[in-house]
A and B are shown apart, each in its own frame.
Chain A
């Protein structure tokens, strides 16, 4: 402590700090499995509603399968967003992160990564099941998994901004949807297109690349915005 202007020799680097934040969120989620399963169950139920509402004919369902899949995935990932920062804001963890001397952007990125691992990735693995039940051919599975996996990265990042902006508000659920859904529109368009092409057995690389571009843009910009919003919420 002799010199306060230089960091201590055993100071943790940003990467170490981010890794711990990620590990912590994953550990917590595994101890609260109920919250983990909710978005998945929601996704399955919503995709099951469509055959009942439209028709049991697979040929007709196949026409709308990509759209159904993506709207359900969008809503399911939205459902999990409310919990992203809420508990950490409530118990003072975010405050400690903001005062840790580490770039808050990096820690926000780690939290968003945890959110994707806990909702986006399971949704991507679940999506083929839903797609098959809506009449998609088995050949479409790789394309659907890839598009949902990449698309949900962008969704988690956009959602992290919305979740940070609505921190500490009562009845934040509807507002969160109002803020997040319009911003998620490009992901919906490109994602549904990639899945649709995959279902029809056509090359789906172009929209997948556009999805990946959105994800990269999100990775660079979204943590900055959510860190700024979190700092404001602590004021």
Chain B
């Protein structure tokens, strides 16, 4: 009986001479949220990038619903969404255009769906402005809209609350809670607290050495 969800077993990762991840392991079931913490340089981003299959670990396994993801990466990628600490926005495109080209490579979306997602993150007023004029927090909100547009089960979020005001942070909390209620999984790396009730969150502390 294969277990559902994401499982990471004894992950080891080197970057050049540097042994970044030393035997990290966890199991994240449906509806589960894992908060990865640790000081700068402890390997939070590396863990996230390894967990979405971008980095190939020296040893250890990564399982989705009981299957090794490196056997079929495209299928695994189609169930996940990774958002790095910078939202991948083009300065010369508006927020709306950025979203259309970004999400459109994965899912057919209509104008209305796009408009609703922008409204949800409070972006309606500035959605036609070129992304170069947006503040860091506004760019973050566009990334949140992308997240809510793509209904995939596994979210991997690197510093999701950075640069957001209080209301924006609350929005992150609400989006995550809705996602967990749907049976989604969230893996979030941040040294801040997540805007969620503590009971909903597992913690994984990464340290140097």
Query: A-side interface residues toward B, CB under 8 Å?
Result: 1, 4-5, 7-8, 10-12, 16-17, 20-21, 23-24, 27-28, 31-32, 87, 91-93, 95-103, 107, 234-235
- A91 x B55 contact (CB < 8 A): no
Q: CB-CB < 8 A to A5: which residues of B?
A: 65, 75
- A8 x B151 contact (CB < 8 A): yes
Q: CB-CB < 8 A to B79: which residues of A?
A: 4, 101
- A1 x B105 contact (CB < 8 A): no
> Contact flags (1/0) for B92-113 with A, using CB distance below 8 Å?
1100010011101111110000
Distance, CA A7 to CA B153, complexed state (A): 12
Closest to B30 in A: A4
Query: B-side interface residues toward A, CB under 8 Å?
Result: 52-56, 64-65, 74-75, 77-82, 84, 86-90, 92-93, 97, 100-102, 104-109, 151-153, 182-184
- B78 x A11 contact (CB < 8 A): yes
- A101 x B77 contact (CB < 8 A): yes
7 contacts between A and B (CB under 8 A): A1-B183, A11-B106, A87-B90, A92-B84, A92-B87, A92-B88, A235-B56
- B92 x A31 contact (CB < 8 A): yes
- B93 x A16 contact (CB < 8 A): no
Q: CB-CB < 8 A to B92: which residues of A?
A: 28, 31-32
Q: CB-CB < 8 A to B86: which residues of A?
A: 91-92
Q: CB-CB < 8 A to B100: which residues of A?
A: 20
Distance, CA A214 to CA B92, complexed state (A): 35
- A91 x B74 contact (CB < 8 A): no
Q: CB-CB < 8 A to B56: which residues of A?
A: 235
Known: A1-B184, A28-B92, A96-B88. A103 touches B74 (CB 8 A): yes
- A4 x B153 contact (CB < 8 A): yes
- A95 x B65 contact (CB < 8 A): no
- A99 x B152 contact (CB < 8 A): no
- B105 x A91 contact (CB < 8 A): no
Known: A11-B78, A21-B101, A95-B82. 7 other contacts (CB 8 A): A16-B104, A16-B105, A20-B100, A28-B90, A95-B84, A100-B105, A101-B77
Known: A101-B75, A235-B55. A91 touches B89 (CB 8 A): yes
- State how many angstroms separate the Cβ of A114 from the closest Cβ of chain B: 12
Closest to B101 in A: A24
Q: CB-CB < 8 A to B81: which residues of A?
A: 99
- A99 x B104 contact (CB < 8 A): no
- B90 x A99 contact (CB < 8 A): no
Distance, CA A32 to CA B108, complexed state (A): 27
Q: CB-CB < 8 A to A234: which residues of B?
A: 54
- State how many angstroms separate the Cβ of A226 from the closest Cβ of chain B: 17
Distance, CA A234 to CA B53, complexed state (A): 11
